[in-house]
Chains A and B, each alone.
Chain A
């Protein structure tokens, strides 16, 4: 009996100490296993948002799909950008420069924005977080916009409510695989607009340490011009462009191709083009990509034929060569290139031979704002305003620019683009300049899908051609196979 009581007592002691310990345990076990950071203050939220931008590169596949890429016929071997040039779906999501890699990079950026927004919400949406909230919303809108542009049909008011979009993600995922549907292009556009408009006024440029790598108010307006151009809301394009560059301030923010650039050496131009000190760069982002070291030598790229079509003086409405033409380096077709990208090699050890290659991609430039405003004005029939912008552009592109002789006119446009209205001729002029401007930058593809520009890819020996009609289903990049496996509807093929 005595022993039993004693035993009972002991068990009570154990039970009690266990209880005591278990509360102590909670704290004991709450220790983080390593030096990971916790997302618990405005500074850290802001730092997380540096990752709310896609750090993958769309240029390699977008450029190859567009008519900026010709077959140089250098070799019969498979080359990295052969698949997009031939409109063959790329499925490897682990290699950079592919659509699935870019898809993942966009959603990774969206996740960063969502984790930031969740933290801001939990902290009660206080004022100290408001600039970050603005950045997160706009960045989230941008990543979704790029996804819907590449992986879904271009916005068409008639069909957008039925065209499948891409999943619009607004909450952080906390399980291994979430449950997502594509929605429609219209619903995605609605969400983008909502985020963009909610975020834009909150942005505070002064809150950024390196503003060129974040959505400044200016960059956000630039994004808005692109968005509304796609949405065909032309007045809004003009409004946002004017907000980005009030008055005529845009002229001084264009790349000084016909002056400063014109005297730069190869490496100097390469260094300046994607430098944050260049005022034309409104938003830059680092991106893991082999594009920097390889774009010159890719088999599908700036071939002699493309060079002639795009850059020959006779092939644009001014009749003069733009300044970029003089900076096509390489000497032979196999390596023709304008030095726009400098590879940034990130190494893991002090003397490693190989590292991860990065390039800085200009996501928005002053030129685009100018082009978008010009196009919108032309679409709305404000031809004079459109021409003002085109003149501003040409003043920085024609070497030895003459305000009088080189003044652009509707006639110059209609002469070059006969049989269309004055407005359409101006739009065509904008698109023509844009094609030259964004050689090697992939943005040509955005115009190709938006304006349904037909494309023909002809093999070097001329024996096979691939034609991409206005409504060819291959204009939509295929949804990554892993996303299809997880239940998303594939694009038709």
Chain B
């Protein structure tokens, strides 16, 4: 705030200083300065029409003023006459008689788009220097009568203005070129509700043209915003198709909520199919694949993005606006002959390599195993019976195998035989990345047709995407279709229809949900076969193929396991159908009053089939221990069933045949209806007034259902074989084999907004909105919330003093904006009334269970929405005729009534409840510097540098946080710290005698034992926020003739990252270890040289029982890295094929480009050692964003 004030002062000072300097010089003088002199000398004042008399005109004046008449006579040289009335002097331009030699002529012509030849209606054509103007009709034609020496100026929003001398011509056809300067495009601001004249818009918003930000080869449009908009951070926590990136506009606003911006497509809020919080996005669970609500949108269909950031911009979204709004406008048909465009993208991904990761090769790994064996691990009795085992388990099992016919053991139990056996694996050096990844091909084809007349316009597009998968077991295909039709039924009535649809079929490795285990301090996922995680975590001593080239199995869950076999036999098939119908009607009641009706319906059906075939490890694990019988395995295999009716009997197999066929389906049906009225008028050409009011209702019904299909026999024609005991096993654990549930979203809103602009100089805006929702529960009081906003803007450049001063040669545009208002969002709590859920009683026997009703939340009659007061002050400056634009926004957000868990006395019946009591403050600055630095007919260089800095602090919070909550990669909230802070257990060093890590524990005592579930967190060390404080991008595009080269750098800084957990008490012969293990503690005294803990002796580890020093080490101060990075996100080179070649193929335009996406991680903390600073290696379906090379072809006919 203070900084802005200082900046403004500096500008004024500069203006005044210049004016003073001029006055002393004499002779040529600006008119206004001259008049001012006269005013001072003779105590008169001047009256004139500024529109008529240009006060910046320069005239020769005498150095000294002698008399008032003599002084005023000087004005005659500029044809200005004067009249003295009292002490007022009235100035007027003397009409110069028309030069009769200049005759008037009538000119006709057609205006088209230079790019595609489409007809351009509504282009204004003005005779320069006069008020004589017309505009093109719906067929792009115009007719104007002007003097034969006139200059015509053709102007249209979004196009470069062209001046043409008439020079006697009577037919002037012209093509206008699109204006690439982004800022100029924003003469109209689309808020999703309204398309507003920029003069009336007072908020902080960034508009991006779809074609400018489109990254060929990037399929998810939300990822295209990365590095493009100051204040918008995009974290690619998973790169799998359909998984949404973690997007934040101006950081987080809620402690427990989703913090996702609202997506609005063509005026309709895009509902999420499933509710996934930002934290869940990084979980790797299956639901993340349908987490991106925009995954079904074809990037080619997008006309523009508008990112609404501050309270003034988002005011129309009221109680949904706290996290910012991204408005997408899709393409509409153009008037003119059909225009056909084709886009083809061909991408390939690079396989990851071990060079970029820090993993031991097989011989180093084998030597670690030897140490493990020496220390009592991997011993014969344990390893031969291990549920999960690698080469040692295999070796011992072979030694134990006696073949009665040959009379020999599988392997002789001699040191030589063992060494020979192990040496094959020690030298195997398996490249798992090579086994599990391929340089795949992704192709994307899109065709669109745009056509129209003045009565109807149509845009149709369709696209096909096929990605045959970077990692084994992954592939995707997607089809999209989009029809957008506009019919002008009369001058007053317009109707439009939008129909979009997309179909997706995707395959991913089979996965189960991630489970957190705070006791040991880790996350786990059963049967995880994520190829990336597997490659990173699996020992390179293991081999995928044996000497004969057959797939080689190792033990997992007591059953055979081979990753390639498992990826084939355990898969997820996801299908998704997304269909939207939208209709609008627009009626001009009067010239200034407009009625708009909008209705939309969206239907999404997503199905997810988890196919676990009978040959998979996951199915065979249920049979391990029988055939051959092994009572040890029978006792220890947790997939066998111990029948409570026969408590002394041996556990039995409950899946004798087949595998699983588990399905999950998600449905979304959403409807929206809106009625709006807009009054727009200009009075006396100076007073712009716009009043807008709407009423809208939305509803969304979501259904999720899931079913565990037991014993499906894929090999046998798909017949299920169900052992009733498997159902008993599940029901006795209170696990339902099927489920179905719903969510109902009902929403109503009323809004009024009034905007006023005076003379283009001052704008004011006031918005009030009243929202109602059913999401808080059935209490009638909690349901409604009013929100409001006031804002204003001052266009300093429109002020006389500014226009007249010479500073406008440097600074040609200056606007100050300010806003203050209340926005809100729905929190995660829904208990404004008692929340009850039925369930089965958690009792062990079927005759004891009954249907019971559980209290999920007791009533909180004070429950309300999460709210925030936001102050934003912004400046928009244009330098050197908008060659350089600077936008700076400063904001302060005070979030209050935020929902957070709260501990109570428990007496009311709910110890941990959720309540609106937390507060959070966010301060930030956003800066964008952009402009067409060079712009000649051949050279063009545009640059955009932007960054957003955002600091948030929880100012009130008392929710209990366990150590585990705070130290894991996502971090947690604490009062006085950011909303997600990363904390560490303080590492104090390695124990002198054992090399076991030691820490400051929850009691402040140095110990190897830290109770991870403890709520005593005061001895944790605060590392930093997990969300970056600074994010931004630097985009450049240089074109020369037909060549365009562009680059996008993105950067982020200020956050901390938890290194992937690599340490544990015990390592099996499956584990791949990072190279730092080479520096591990081996002898007393090493603790002075290294922080890498020892591999403990079996006996030492036995003493740990109940404590987990090695897991704790993963969450200690030494396992943290800085999250800052600089990335060369994209490089692209494209070539527009010259017109003469195009003619020969009958095309209007064509270009070919080569694009490299995610090209180079220029800088990141060395401690990361290859770990991607954005990606959470959480297994499941999560994959990092690969390096990608794309060839893109675009042709228009």
Complex interface: chain A residues within 8 A of B647 (CB): 265, 267-268, 270-271, 342
Q: Is A480 an interface residue (CB 8 A)?
A: yes
Contacts of B81 in A (CB 8 A): none
Chain B 754-778 per-residue mask, 1 if CB under 8 angstroms from chain A, else 0:
0000000000000000001111111
Give the segment of A36-44, A377-385, A402-410 that binds chain B.
A36-44
Chain B residues with Cβ under 8 A from A92's Cβ?
A: 1013-1015
Chain B residues, Cβ within 8 Å of A176: 860, 862, 902, 904, 908, 913, 915, 917
On whether the beta carbons of B524 and A353 are closer than 8 Å, the reply is: yes
* Distance in angstroms between the alpha carbons of A44 and B852 in the assembled complex: 8
A331 at interface by CB-CB < 8 Å? no
CA distance A172 to B843 in the complex (A): 27
Would you call B844 and A209 a contact (CB within 8 A)?
no
Q: By the criterion CB–CB under 8 Å, are A483 and B907 in contact?
A: yes
For the complex, is B830 an interface residue (Cβ under 8 Å from A)? yes
| Residue from the list B773, B844, B1105 in contact with A342, Cβ < 8 A | B844
A110 CB contacts on chain B under 8 angstroms: 909
Separation of A104 and B913 alpha carbons in the complex (Å): 12
Residues of A within 8 A of B962 (CB): 94
Interface residues of A in 197-214 (CB under 8 A from B): 209-210, 212-213
Check if B742 sits within 8 Å of A346, measured CB to CB.
Answer: no
Of all chain A residues, which has the CB nearest B741? A35
CB distance from A144 to the nearest CB of B (A): 11
Q: Chain A, 450-481, contact with B by CB distance < 8 Å: what is the 0/1 string?
A: 00000000000000000000000000000010
Any A CB within 8 A of the CB of B527? yes
* Size class of the contact patch on chain B: 35 or more
A177 CA / B905 CA spacing, docked (Å) = 7
Q: How far is the CB of B283 from chain A (nearest CB, A)?
A: 14
Are B909 and A173 touching (Cβ within 8 A)? yes
Q: B512-520, B973-981, B1131-1139, B1189-1197: which lies at the A interface? A: B512-520
Q: Is the CB of B744 within 8 A of A33?
A: yes
Is the pair A34, B830 in contact by a Cβ cutoff of 8 Å? yes
Verify if A330 is at the interface (C-beta below 8 Å from B): no
Residues B909 and A31 in contact, CB atoms below 8 Å apart:
no
Check B836 against A39 for contact (C-beta < 8 Å). Answer: yes
Return chain B residues, CB-CB under 8 Å to A35: 741-742, 837
User: Are B1107's CB and A351's CB within 8 A?
Assistant: no
Q: Is A319 an interface residue (CB 8 A)?
A: no
Is A26 in the interface zone, CB < 8 Å from B? yes
Judged by a CB distance under 8 angstroms, whether A326 is at the interface is no
Is the beta-carbon distance between B746 and A104 smaller than 8 angstroms? no
Interface 1/0 per residue, A239-271 and B, CB below 8 Å: 000000000000000000000000001111011
A6–B200 CA distance with the chains assembled, in angstroms: 25
Say whether A34 contacts B855, CB under 8 Å: no
Write the chain B residue with the least CB distance to A482.
Answer: B903
Question: Contact: A482 with B515, CB < 8 Å?
Answer: no
Which single member of B853, B858, B915 contacts A39 (CB below 8 Å)?
A: B853
B423 smallest CB distance to A (angstroms): 35
**Chain B residues closer than 8 Å to A112, beta-carbon distance:** 855, 909
Chain B residues whose CB sits within 8 angstroms of the CB of A85 once the complex forms? none
Given A177-B908, A271-B647, A353-B515: A33 in contact with B775 (beta carbons within 8 A):
yes
Report B-chain residues with C-beta under 8 Å of the C-beta of A275: 845
CB-contact partner of B772 in A25, A360, A485, A486, under 8 A: A25
Q: Are A483 and B830 in contact (CB under 8 A)?
A: no
Residues from chain A with Cβ under 8 Å of B1106 in the complex:
77, 79
Are A349 and B735 in contact (CB-based, < 8 A)?
yes
On chain A, the residues within 8 Å of B933 by CB distance are none
Q: Is the interface of B mostly helix, strand, loop or mixed?
A: loop
Give the docked Cα–Cα distance between A321 and B422 (Å). Answer: 59
Asked whether B838 is an interface residue with its Cβ less than 8 Å from the other chain, the reply is yes
**Residue in contact with A104 in the complex, picked from B742, B744, B838, B911, CB distance below 8 Å:** B911
Whether A34 and B1015, one on each chain, are in contact in the complex, defined by CB atoms closer than 8 angstroms, is: no
For residue A412, CB closer than 8 A to chain B, the reply is no
Tell me if A84 is interfacial: C-beta within 8 Å of chain B. no
Q: Nearest-CB distance from B783 to chain A (Å)?
A: 6
Cα A356 to Cα B734 in complex, Å, equals: 11
Give the complex CA separation of A62 and B744 in angstroms.
46
The docked-state distance in angstroms from the alpha carbon of A47 to that of B853 is 5
Nearest opposing residue in chain B for A100, CB measure: B906
CA of A235 to CA of B514, assembled, Å: 58
Query: Are the CB atoms of A48 and B853 closer together than 8 Å?
Result: yes
Given A32-B774, A268-B648, A352-B526: A213 and B905 interface contact (C-beta under 8 Å) = no
Contact B746–A31 (Cβ < 8 Å)? yes
Knowing A18-B695, A31-B746, A95-B1013, say if A111 contacts B858 (CB, 8 Å): yes
| Given A28-B746, A213-B843, residue A174 in contact with residue B859 (CB < 8 A) | yes
Q: Does A10 touch B at the CB level, under 8 Å?
A: yes
Cross-chain contact A349 with B512 (CB below 8 angstroms): yes
Q: What are the residues of chain A within 8 A of B660 when measuring CB–CB?
A: 350
A33 is contacted by which of B589, B772, B774 (Cβ under 8 Å)? B774
Let me know if B906 and A31 touch, CB within 8 A: no
* B403 in contact (CB, < 8 A): no
A457 to B836, CA, bound (A): 45
Q: In the bound complex, what is the Cα–Cα distance between A211 and B1074 (angstroms)?
A: 58
Question: In the complex, which of the residues B644, B844, B847, B913 has the most CB atoms of chain A within 10 Å of its own CB atom?
Answer: B844
A-side contacts of B644, CB under 8 Å: 271, 342
CA distance A123 to B822 in the complex (A): 42
**Residue among B861, B904, B1013 with most chain A CB within 10 A:** B904
Known contacts A94-B912, A349-B513; decide if A286 and B845 are in contact (CB<8 Å): no
Kindly state whether residue B138 has any CB partner on chain A within 8 Å: no
CB contact between A351 and one of B512, B677, B778, B838 (< 8 Å): that residue: B512
Give the chain A neighbours of B310 by CB distance below 8 A.
Answer: none
Does the CB pair A213–B841 fall under 8 Å?
yes
Interface residues of A in 149-189 (CB under 8 A from B): 167, 169, 172-178, 180
Query: Chain B contacts of A175 at CB under 8 A?
Result: 860-862, 908
User: CA of A275 to CA of B830 in the docked complex: distance in angstroms?
Assistant: 38
What is the chain B residue whose CB lies nearest that of A173? B908
Q: Mark A1-39, 1 if CB is under 8 A from B, else 0.
A: 001001100100010011001000110111111111111
> Cβ of A108 < 8 Å from any Cβ of B?
yes
* B836, A38: Cβ atoms closer than 8 Å: yes
Decide yes or no whether A51 CB sits under 8 A from chain B.
Answer: yes
Could you say which residues of chain B place their CB within 8 Å of the CB of A177? Answer: 904-905, 908
Q: Which residues of B contact A352 (CB under 8 A)?
A: 515, 526
For window 900-934 of B, CB contacts with A under 8 Å fall at: 902-913, 915, 917
Q: B617-639, CB under 8 A of A: which get 1 and which 0?
A: 01001000000000000000011
Would B778 and A30 count as touching, CB distance under 8 A?
yes
Q: Is the CB of B733 within 8 A of A355?
A: yes
Q: Is A136 in contact with chain B by the CB < 8 A criterion?
A: no
Which chain A residues (330-363) contact chain B, with CB distance < 8 Å? 342, 344-356, 358, 360
B722, chain A: closest CB distance, angstroms: 14
Which residues from A are CB-within-8-Å of B515? 348-349, 352-354
* With A34-B743, A358-B842: A51-B862 Cβ-Cβ less than 8 Å: no
Closest A residue by C-beta to B908: A173
Chain A min CB distance to B513 (Å): 6
Q: Does B848 contact A (CB under 8 A)?
A: yes
Cβ of B41 within 8 Å of any chain A Cβ, yes or no, is no
Q: Give the residues in chain A near B733, CB-CB below 8 Å.
A: 345-347, 355
- Contacts A21-B695, A39-B853, A104-B906 supplied; 16 other A-B pairs, CB < 8 Å: A18-B695, A28-B699, A29-B774, A37-B836, A108-B906, A172-B859, A173-B858, A175-B908, A210-B848, A210-B849, A212-B848, A267-B648, A270-B647, A348-B515, A354-B519, A487-B905
**Which chain B residues have a beta carbon within 8 Å of chain A's beta carbons?**
512-513, 515, 517, 519, 524, 526-527, 589-590, 593, 618, 621, 638-639, 644, 647-648, 660, 662, 675, 677, 693, 695, 697, 699, 708, 730, 733-735, 741-746, 748, 750, 772-778, 780, 783, 830, 834-838, 841-845, 847-856, 858-862, 902-913, 915, 917, 960, 962, 1009, 1013-1015, 1105-1107
Q: List 6 A-B contacts (CB under 8 A).
A: A10-B589, A39-B834, A115-B858, A213-B848, A342-B844, A355-B733
Nearest 5 CB-CB pairs, A to B? A111-B909, A173-B908, A267-B647, A50-B852, A486-B905
